[in-house]
Amino acid sequence: MSSVQKIILFKKNTPVSVIEEVAKEIEAKSGKVVSSTSKTVKTITYSVDSNAIGVAAIANITSEKSEHIEEVQDDAIVTTQ
């Protein structure tokens, strides 16, 4: 089964405890945290099965924590010329 990979960008004033809580919730919903940063830029990169249940479960988590989230975007390769 294919998976979807996303990046959650948190607002600068988000406590590390909130980022850790979101990471645990993602894993509890069968997602996989690929990486996480909390020093200068606060992010979580995660992957989840592309089925509707997996994607909806993570979307629910991000909507519950929306006051701390700046944006959610697709993880993709960026190139420059």
Q: Is the dihedral of CA 41, 57, 46, 35 positive or negative?
A: positive
Question: Alpha-carbon distance 62 to 71, whole Å?
Answer: 9
Question: pTM for the complete prediction?
Answer: 0.86
Tally of domains in the chain:
1
Q: What is the pLDDT of residue 77?
A: 82
Task: Place 62 in a pLDDT band, splitting at 50, 70 and 90.
Answer: confident
| Domain assignment of residue 79, yes or no | no
User: Is residue 81 one of the residues assigned to a domain?
Assistant: no
- So what's the pLDDT on residue 49? 86
- pLDDT, residue 1, reads 65
CA distances 36 to 1, 13, 33, 39, 66, Å, are 24, 16, 7, 10, 18
Q: Which domain holds residue 46?
A: 3-74
Query: Domain containing 21 — which CATH number?
Result: 3.30.70.80
Q: Are 19 and 70 in contact (CB under 8 A)?
A: no
pLDDT, tens digit, 9 for 90 and up, residues 1-53: 688 899 999 999 999 999 999 999 999 988 999 999 988 899 999 998 887 67
